[in-house]
């Protein structure tokens, strides 16, 4: 049915006319029977009856009546809300905060957890890894991947990829590009099509194939002004020419590991790493796959385990104990944050409940002030149902206005939340206020409206009309006060739960910040340096000389206190491992029987630069170079694990990929490679240091196009980054320095999700505390106001101001303490859901619980104190005369 | 409004629809004509109140059992004339048979009572 105002007006006019014609015909009949026109008309009019009522009843038949009543209720509701702007403002603001916070968080949860991945048939997508005896999700070797691809029956496509940095030259200033080595099917698996051009064809990813590349839309725009002519042109990457085959749209995004902001995609076969064709070398490749339609993940696992066992039979040296790990892609992408987001969603739900309770309280207080109004309305014939509907209309009106405002707040809050989480959130780009989120907002707004509207509505129902009118609107019935008391208890309890959760997060983060990472992170800068493209063809000796030159130039920069080249692992940032065995023990027959250690390739000043303590022996010197015998330094974890009860100094180990036998010359402190929190629980923690200049020639050849550099600088040195950059530029034209990052930044980024959950929970908790104290204040003021007369009498009878103060305070504190008790007990049960987010503090940490409960009690006391003081100042004469 | 007036509305509820539909069976008619016809045909027993008639007409119209058009009467007056629709004819049949059932049933209930009062 269309409800049109104009149509309606026309029908009104027609009804008037119809009744008028009826009247005239009746009068005409009477006149025909001999009555005077005047008489006839009056009699006809009388016979017709109550014209207004007839119209009213007839109009109801048009089916618009409910709209009309709604319209009346809305108009009346708006008038009532406008009449008390204070109440309306507070209620709407409270609701807007509650609904806004919920909408913002829900939009994050929706984008990250609920929405399917933005690829066709996302349920078919899985993540692939190679499982090793002690490690579920290891990297996949290229030959193994080729066999997986060939032998599986359950995948329609699979692909592997790994990150890389290329130096782009010949197109403006030389710069470093984030690149990705991929196999041909990479974009086929995801169902992503190039903006223009094509993706890689089968076998274009083979070793020895022609060099081609796909570029990001961003790079295409920046370097080729988005011209289609770019296709077929060449890019000079690390001095080699790659023909551009296609452009990948900017909308493409994959929240997986280090996969973000990729500038250029290159087929795997173009990687000049000599280990690429080796079956035992994972080289950091991780895979994605698309299951054939209808294939379950279990079927795929069974299939791949068969493939793996035939590979193990064919290549026992490298593939014994090697399997395939298959996990749903979405789970891999969002797995870690789901607990966090759900805890936050629960928390924000509490905030909204508190907001609703507050508004319900306000409505209750107002409803009692309006008892007379309702009594009069029902005396004039409004039914109970109509009154309840009126109250619900008013509360829904409030809730919807609050909701609309909340949606605005949420738009802003979501952006703020994403900024806070700074890259720690997978799928962040999919978070937005879309129709689903707005629907959620609408639904919770309506639910809130009903929730807090129902309390006063039910209260109004079943009240005796007579008593109310006689009572003169004071309405001091105990029942209502009890309802308000319960609401205060509930909101205090919920606020306490939130405060305790936030308190636990604060304690966790403090505990984490106090963890010693094993090195001094202050004033340490890391960045990458790449030698000019012609160095591609240099000898290992030439590269060593060039790197030594870079070292010298940087040493001369004012403010640099110590520096070191760094290859392989970088604490809390990237890891690299070496296979080894210990001299004196039988030589392992296969790589499977060798041991792993984290491996850092550094120079002599590394220890000084990082502030890592030397425990025994010595660290490297400039004499540990390509001409001297190989030496390594190990950390205390390595020493304890492989040389229990012995002196490791002077022992020898064989390094599988770093030139064989090396002597241990020193032991240093352990560095928390895997992160402040998770390092202790990792299985691979042994660390070894290898002198950079002793890198075997093939490895040295690889380092020409990008090696890490770390610098400890004087804290007073201004713009150290710029000085370093100009020093490197000063060496020669095409030296490239990549973006700098401080170690402190790296540590801080590794804690992004903890910081996010702490700040968000903290904000929610403070919001809850503020709302709850406003609520307590409101109720205590109201109750004290109700008792003005009683207080007046008490004082007239000799009660001291102090007694009144104590009485009112105790009234409020009774409720608060009951709420604190309930909240305390509930928290004991609830906080264990967030145990996985906590560190160094138990989920029921008594200190946090007690301190937070005390804080809440004190805030509540303050909230009660203001109305109590006001009550204390009551002038008995005024209070009594008031009636 | 008087209690009597209210009672009358309730009394006629349900049967009024039948009477209106039946009246329109003989041809299109305006509201006043319908009430006039019912009164005349019932020998002045049934008086349809305007307060029930127009709501009923508008309700029947919404149910698409009757439709209305504006016509000009013999007295050169614009009147709203109602006409039975095909759907309304079907409805009339079912209302009639229901009415027959009800009146039989009421007669059945009343007959033993009459015998009792006679006894």
- Residue among A17, A28, A48 minimizing CB distance to B50: A48
- ipTM summary value: 0.82
- Give the mean model confidence (pLDDT) for residues B91-103: 86
Three-state DSSP state, A674: coil
| Residue pLDDT, tens place only, A317-330 | 888 888 999 999 88
> For position A559, what pLDDT does the model report?
87
Nearest CA in chain B to A54: B51
| Residue pLDDT, tens place only, A344-355 | 888 888 888 888
Q: How many CB pairs under 8 A join A and B?
A: 62
Task: Test B50 with A14 for CB contact under 8 angstroms.
Answer: no
Task: Test B54 with A18 for CB contact under 8 angstroms.
Answer: yes
> For position A1, what pLDDT does the model report?
40
> For position A331, what pLDDT does the model report?
82
- Residue among B32, B36, B51 minimizing CB distance to A49: B51
What number of other Cβ atoms are within 10 A of residue A478's Cβ?
8
- Give the mean model confidence (pLDDT) for residues B11-29: 81
Nearest CA in chain A to B80: A18
Which range is least confidently modeled, A437-451, A491-505, A802-816, B101-115? B101-115
- Measured between beta carbons, the chain A residues lying within 8 angstroms of B30 are 21-22, 25
> What length is written for chain B?
119
Task: Test A57 with B80 for CB contact under 8 angstroms.
Answer: no
- Determine phi and psi for A89, rounding to 5 degrees: -60, -50
Burial A746-763 (b: 16+ CB within 10 A, else e): bbeebbebbbbbbbbbbb
| Residue pLDDT, tens place only, A595-638 | 888 899 999 999 999 999 999 999 999 999 989 999 999 999 99
Residue A838 has pLDDT above 70, yes or no: yes
The most confident of A159-173, A192-206, A785-799, by mean pLDDT: A192-206
- Measured between beta carbons, the chain B residues lying within 8 angstroms of A53 are 1, 51
> Which residues does A contribute to its contact with B (CB < 8 Å)?
14-15, 17-19, 21-22, 24-26, 28-29, 47-50, 53-54, 57-58, 60-63
CA distance A449 to A394: 8
Suggest the residue from B32, B34, B64, B77 to mutate for an interface test with chain A (most A CBs closer than 10 A): B32
> For position A421, what pLDDT does the model report?
63
Instruction: Say which residues have a Cβ less than 8 Å from residue A162's Cβ, sequence separation at least 6.
Output: A139, A180, A181, A283, A284, A285, A286
State how far residue A119 is from chain B, nearest Cα, in angstroms: 50
> For position A564, what pLDDT does the model report?
93
State how far residue B43 is from chain A, nearest Cα, in angstroms: 17
Residue A473 has pLDDT above 70, yes or no: no
- Measured between beta carbons, the chain B residues lying within 8 angstroms of A58 are 54-55, 58
> For position A336, what pLDDT does the model report?
67
Task: Test A58 with B58 for CB contact under 8 angstroms.
Answer: yes
> For position B7, what pLDDT does the model report?
39
> For position A463, what pLDDT does the model report?
55
Angle at A806 between CA A803 and CA A812, to 5 degrees: 145
| Residue pLDDT, tens place only, B76-89 | 888 899 999 999 99
- Residue among B30, B36, B51 minimizing CB distance to A54: B51
- Measured between beta carbons, the chain A residues lying within 8 angstroms of B59 are 61
- Measured between beta carbons, the chain A residues lying within 8 angstroms of B75 are 25, 28
Instruction: Say which residues have a Cβ less than 8 Å from residue A75's Cβ, sequence separation at least 6.
Output: none
Confidence of residue B119 (pLDDT cuts 50, 70, 90): very low
- Measured between beta carbons, the chain A residues lying within 8 angstroms of B51 are 49-50, 53-54, 57
Residue A401's alpha-carbon distances to A148, A414, A762, in angstroms, are 58, 20, 27
Q: Which tokens is A109 given?
A: 């949860």
Question: Is the four-CA dihedral A494, A496, A499, A500 of positive or negative sign?
Answer: negative
CB-based burial of residue A180 (10 Å sphere; 0-12 exposed, 13-18 middle, 19+ buried)? buried
- Measured between beta carbons, the chain B residues lying within 8 angstroms of A21 are 30, 32, 73, 77-80
> For position A424, what pLDDT does the model report?
61
Task: Test B80 with A14 for CB contact under 8 angstroms.
Answer: yes
- Give the mean model confidence (pLDDT) for residues A564-593: 82
Instruction: Say which residues have a Cβ less than 8 Å from residue A435's Cβ, sequence separation at least 6.
Output: none
Q: Which tokens is A395 given?
A: 């509360």
Bridge pairing between strands A707-713 and A687-691: unpaired
Mean pLDDT of chain A: 84
CA distance A415 to A683: 38
Better-predicted residue by pLDDT, A758 or A861: A861
CA distance A761 to A498: 7
- Residue among A15, A26, A61 minimizing CB distance to B59: A61
- Give the mean model confidence (pLDDT) for residues A401-429: 79
- Give the mean model confidence (pLDDT) for residues A11-24: 87
Torsion of CA B71, B77, B78, B79, to 10 degrees: -70
- Residue among A21, A22, A61 minimizing CB distance to B58: A61
Task: Test B50 with A22 for CB contact under 8 angstroms.
Answer: yes
Task: Test B77 with A21 for CB contact under 8 angstroms.
Answer: yes
> For position A2, what pLDDT does the model report?
45
Confidence of residue B11 (pLDDT cuts 50, 70, 90): very low
CA distance B14 to A400: 42
> For position B52, what pLDDT does the model report?
83
CB-based burial of residue A69 (10 Å sphere; 0-12 exposed, 13-18 middle, 19+ buried)? middle
- Measured between beta carbons, the chain A residues lying within 8 angstroms of B37 are none
Nearest CA in chain B to A48: B50
The pTM of the full predicted model, rounded to 2 decimals, is 0.66
| Residue pLDDT, tens place only, A641-666 | 999 988 999 999 998 888 889 999 99
Task: Test B77 with A25 for CB contact under 8 angstroms.
Answer: yes
Alpha helices of A514-584 — where are they, by DSSP H?
540-555
Burial A85-99 (b: 16+ CB within 10 A, else e): eebbebbbebbbbbb
State how far residue B51 is from chain A, nearest Cα, in angstroms: 5
- Give the mean model confidence (pLDDT) for residues B50-69: 87
- Residue among B1, B59, B78 minimizing CB distance to A50: B1
- Determine phi and psi for A586, rounding to 5 degrees: -60, 140
State how far residue B60 is from chain A, nearest Cα, in angstroms: 9
Task: Test A48 with B58 for CB contact under 8 angstroms.
Answer: no
Residue A432 has pLDDT above 80, yes or no: no
Tracing tokens 């002004």 back to the chain, one arrives at A225
> Which residues does B contribute to its contact with A (CB < 8 Å)?
1, 5, 30-33, 36, 49-51, 54-55, 58-59, 62, 70, 73, 75, 77-80
């Amino acid at each position: 049915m269309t409800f049109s105002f104009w149509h309606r007006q026309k029908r009104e006019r027609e009804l008037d006319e119809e009744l008028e014609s009826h009247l005239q015909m009746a009068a005409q009949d009477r006149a025909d029977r001999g009555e005077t026109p005047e008489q006839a008309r009056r009699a006809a009019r009388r016979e017709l009856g109550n014209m207004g009522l007839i119209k009213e009843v007839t109009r109801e038949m048009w089916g618009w009546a409910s709209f009309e009543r709604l319209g009346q209720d809305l108009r009346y509701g708006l008038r009532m809300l406008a009449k008390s702007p204070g109440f309306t403002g507070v209620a709407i603001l409270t609701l807007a905060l509650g609904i806004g916070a919920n909408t913002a968080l829900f939009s994050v949860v929706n984008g990250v957890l609920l929405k399917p991945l933005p690829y066709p048939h996302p349920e078919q997508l899985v993540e692939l890894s190679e499982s090793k005896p002690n490690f579920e999700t290891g990297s996949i070797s290229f030959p193994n991947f080729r066999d997986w691809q060939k032998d599986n029956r359950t995948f329609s496509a699979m692909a592997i990829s790994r990150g890389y940095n290329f130096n782009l030259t010949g197109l403006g200033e030389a710069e470093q590009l984030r690149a990705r080595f991929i196999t041909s099917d990479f974009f086929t698996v995801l169902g992503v099509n190039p903006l223009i051009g094509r993706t890689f064809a089968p076998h274009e990813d083979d070793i020895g194939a022609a060099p081609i590349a796909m570029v990001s839309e961003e790079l295409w725009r920046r370097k080729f002004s988005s011209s289609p002519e770019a296709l077929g042109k060449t890019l000079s990457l690390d001095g080699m020419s790659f023909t551009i085959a296609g452009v990948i749209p900017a909308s493409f995004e994959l929240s997986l590991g280090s996969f973000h902001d990729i500038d250029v995609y290159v087929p795997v076969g173009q990687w000049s790493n000599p280990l690429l064709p080796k079956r035992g070398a994972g080289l950091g490749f991780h895979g994605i796959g698309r299951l054939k339609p209808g294939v379950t993940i279990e079927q795929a696992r069974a299939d791949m385990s068969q493939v793996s066992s035939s590979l193990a039979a064919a290549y026992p040296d490298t593939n014994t104990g090697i399997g395939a790990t298959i996990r749903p892609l979405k789970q891999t992408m969002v797995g870690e944050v789901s607990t966090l987001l759900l805890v936050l969603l629960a928390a924000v739900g509490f905030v909204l409940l508190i907001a609703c309770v507050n508004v319900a309280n306000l409505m209750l207080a107002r409803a009692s002030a309006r008892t007379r109004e309702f009594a009069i309305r029902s005396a004039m014939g409004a039914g109970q149902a109509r009154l309840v509907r009126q109250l619900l209309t008013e509360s829904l009106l409030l809730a919807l206005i609050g909701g609309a405002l909340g949606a605005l707040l949420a738009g802003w809050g979501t952006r703020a939340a994403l900024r806070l989480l700074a890259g720690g959130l997978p799928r962040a780009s999919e978070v937005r206020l879309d129709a689903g989120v707005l629907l959620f907002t609408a639904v919770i707004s309506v639910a809130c409206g009903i929730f807090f509207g129902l309390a006063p509505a039910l209260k109004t129902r079943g009240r005796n009309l007579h008593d109310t009118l006689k009572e003169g609107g004071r309405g001091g019935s105990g029942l209502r006060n009890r309802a308000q008391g319960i609401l205060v208890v509930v909101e205090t309890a919920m606020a306490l739960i939130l405060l305790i959760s936030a308190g636990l997060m604060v304690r966790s983060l403090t505990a984490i910040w106090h963890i010693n990472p094993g090195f001094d992170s202050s004033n340490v800068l890391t960045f990458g340096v790449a030698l000019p493209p012609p160095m591609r063809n240099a000898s290992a000796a030439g590269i060593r000389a060039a790197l030594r030159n870079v070292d010298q130039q940087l040493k001369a920069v004012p403010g640099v206190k110590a520096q070191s080249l760094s290859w392989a692992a970088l604490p809390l940032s990237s890891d690299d491992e070496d296979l080894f065995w210990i001299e004196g023990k039988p030589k392992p027959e296969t790589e499977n029987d060798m041991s792993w250690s984290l491996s850092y390739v550094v120079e002599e000043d590394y220890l000084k630069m990082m502030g890592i303590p030397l425990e025994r022996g010595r660290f490297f010197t400039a004499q540990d170079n390509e001409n001297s015998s190989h030496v390594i330094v190990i950390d205390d974890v390595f020493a304890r694990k492989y040389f229990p009860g012995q002196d490791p100094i002077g022992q020898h180990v064989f390094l599988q990929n770093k030139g064989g036998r090396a002597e241990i010359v020193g032991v240093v402190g352990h560095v928390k490679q895997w992160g402040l929190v998770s390092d202790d629980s990792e299985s691979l923690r042994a660390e070894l240091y290898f002198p950079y200049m002793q890198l075997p020639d093939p490895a040295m050849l690889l380092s020409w196009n990008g090696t890490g550099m770390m610098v400890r600088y004087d804290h007073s040195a201004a713009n150290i980054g710029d000085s370093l950059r100009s020093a490197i530029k000063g060496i020669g034209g095409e030296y490239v320095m990549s973006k700098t990052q401080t170690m402190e930044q790296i540590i801080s980024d590794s804690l992004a999700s903890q910081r996010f959950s702490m700040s968000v929970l903290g904000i929610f908790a403070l919001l809850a505390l503020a709302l709850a104290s406003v609520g307590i204040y409101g109720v205590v003021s109201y109750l004290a106001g109700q008792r003005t007369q009683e207080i007046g009498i008490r004082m007239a009878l000799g009660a001291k101001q102090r007694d009144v103060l104590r009485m009112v305070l105790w009234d409020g504190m009774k409720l608060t303490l009951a709420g604190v008790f309930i909240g305390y007990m509930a928290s004991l049960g609830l906080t264990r859901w967030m145990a996985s987010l906590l560190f160094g503090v138990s989920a029921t940490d008594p200190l946090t619980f007690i301190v937070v409960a005390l804080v809440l009690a004190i805030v509540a006391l303050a909230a009660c104190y203001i109305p109590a003081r006001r009550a204390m100042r009551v002038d008995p004469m005024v209070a009594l005369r008031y009636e | 409004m008087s209690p009597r007036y209210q009672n009358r509305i309730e009394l006629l509820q349900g049967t009024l629809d039948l009477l209106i539909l039946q009246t329109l069976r003989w041809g299109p008619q305006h509201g006043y004509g319908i009430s006039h016809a019912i009164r005349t045909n019932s020998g002045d027993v049934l008086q349809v109140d305007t307060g029930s008639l127009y709501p009923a007409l508008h309700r029947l119209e919404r149910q698409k059992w009757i439709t209305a058009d504006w016509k000009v009467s013999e007295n050169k007056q614009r009147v709203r004339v109602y006409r039975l629709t095909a759907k309304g004819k079907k409805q009339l049949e079912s209302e009639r048979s229901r009415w027959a059932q009800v009146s039989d049933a009421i007669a059945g209930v009343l007959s033993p009572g009459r015998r009792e009062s006679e006894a």
